[in-house]
Structure 1
Amino acid sequence: MSDLLVIAFNDETSGFELRAELVKLQSEYLIKLEDAVVVTRPAADDIQLHQTLNLTAAGAVGGTFWGTLVGLLFLNPLVGAAVGAGSGALAGYLTDYGINDDFMREVGNKVTPGGSAVFLLVREMTGDKVLDRISDFHSRGRVIQTSLSNEDEEKLREALAGTQSPLVPEDAKGAVTK
């Protein structure tokens, strides 16, 4: 089961920086993301979604391929490619993969104007290593909403506030290692 995390920032740049860092961590196999979307709010009544995957373009490419293949079978590959690209683009545009867009717009209203929020759908994560690697975001971000347990959500809030080291378990505080 995947977990939803929504982290807000007072500026737009921090949201994009966090998403870029998490994508980098994914390439290092420290986190598995199903979706990562940056929501910006340039003005009080304007909410913009910046998806990582452009489904319209992906649908057009896939449709072009399959349309050309079908067109070759019927000896008209150009018509097949055009029809395939159009139908693939339409299918991609109508598809909502990952986090629901309406939900992101609704929660995006909690973001301060000029700020951003990062919506993450996390399948798996090596928590201590990920929190350590995103330490540059301490005291810049705040947790708006999660589907984590209360204990894990509190650890995330503390890590973003920079009040507790995410690498030291509660029972190991004060312990001396040899």
Structure 2
Amino acid sequence: MSNLIVIGFNNETDAFEMRAALAKMQAQYLIEMEDAVVVTRDARGKVQLHQAVSLTATGAIGGAFWGTLIGMLFFNPLLGAAVGAGSGALSGKLTDLGINDEFMKELGATLKEGTSALFVLVRKSTPDKVLEGLKAFAGKGRIIQTSLTKDNEQELRKFIEAQ
């Protein structure tokens, strides 16, 4: 079972930096994330979702590959690539993996202008090592929402919101 953790920041850059730190730890097998999205609310109040992976681009690349392969079988690889890329991009755009986009937009609308939040869906982690790797962020954020147990949430809150 995965756990959702939402951490708010008073600026737009800290959420991106924490996501990068978590991605680095994922490469070291200290944490396994299903999704990590930065939500910002700019000075005009517009909420933006910054996905770690563009599903549209991924779908287009995969579709182009399969379209080319199928096109080669029917002696028209360019047409196959174009059709495959288009259908792959469309399916990627319509696919919503991980954290629900509407949920993130609704919560993002509650942020103050010029701030951000990091939404992380964690499958597995080594909590003590992850917290050690996030020391640079201690005291910079606030816990907005989690699906952790009360004890784990309190420990995380104490670490992130430390003054």
Q: TM-score, normalised by structure 1?
A: 0.89
SS at match of 2:42: strand
Deviations 1:76-113 (A, max 9, x none): 11111111111111111111111010000111123221
Instruction: Measure, in 2, the Cα distance between the counterparts of 1:78 and 1:133.
Output: 47
Moved more, 37-46 or 76-85: 37-46
Instruction: Look up the match of 1:96.
Output: 96
Is 1:22 the equivalent of 2:22? yes
Instruction: Measure, in 2, the Cα distance between the counterparts of 1:80 and 1:29.
Output: 38
Instruction: Measure, in 1, the Cα distance between the counterparts of 2:149 and 2:30.
Output: 20
Instruction: Look up the match of 1:146.
Output: 146
SS at match of 1:121: strand
Equivalent position amino acid for 1:148 in 2: L
Instruction: Measure, in 2, the Cα distance between the counterparts of 1:59 and 1:82.
Output: 12
* Structure 1 residues not aligned, in runs of 5+: 164-178
Instruction: Look up the match of 1:166.
Output: none
Instruction: Measure, in 2, the Cα distance between the counterparts of 1:95 and 1:161.
Output: 34
Q: TM-score, normalised by structure 2?
A: 0.97
SS at match of 2:145: strand
Instruction: Look up the match of 2:36.
Output: 36
Please show how residues 37-52 of structure 1 align to structure 2 within 5 Å.
Answer: 37-43=37-43, 45-52=45-52
**Count of aligned pairs between the two proteins:** 163
CA deviation after TM superposition for structure 1 residue 139, in Å: 1.1
Q: Which aligned runs of 4 or more in structure 1 are off by greater than 4 angstroms?
A: none
Equivalent position amino acid for 1:105 in 2: K
Deviations 1:46-75 (A, max 9, x none): 100000010101111111111111111111
Instruction: Look up the match of 2:53.
Output: 53
Instruction: Measure, in 1, the Cα distance between the counterparts of 2:137 and 2:3.
Output: 20
Deviations 1:21-69 (A, max 9, x none): 0000101110000000000001353100000010101111111111111
Is 1:62 the equivalent of 2:62? yes
Instruction: Measure, in 2, the Cα distance between the counterparts of 1:44 and 1:76.
Output: 48
Equivalent position amino acid for 2:123 in 1: R
Structure of higher CA gyration radius: 1
SS at match of 2:129: helix
Equivalent position amino acid for 2:153 in 1: E
Please show how residues 105-144 of structure 1 align to structure 2 within 5 Å.
Answer: 105-144=105-144
State percent identity of aligned pairs: 59
CA deviation after TM superposition for structure 1 residue 135, in Å: 1.1
Equivalent position amino acid for 1:5 in 2: I
Equivalent position amino acid for 1:111 in 2: L
Instruction: Measure, in 2, the Cα distance between the counterparts of 1:43 and 1:139.
Output: 24
Contact 2:10–2:115 (8 Å) recurs in 1: yes
SS at match of 1:43: coil
CA deviation after TM superposition for structure 1 residue 133, in Å: 1.2
Equivalent position amino acid for 1:40 in 2: T
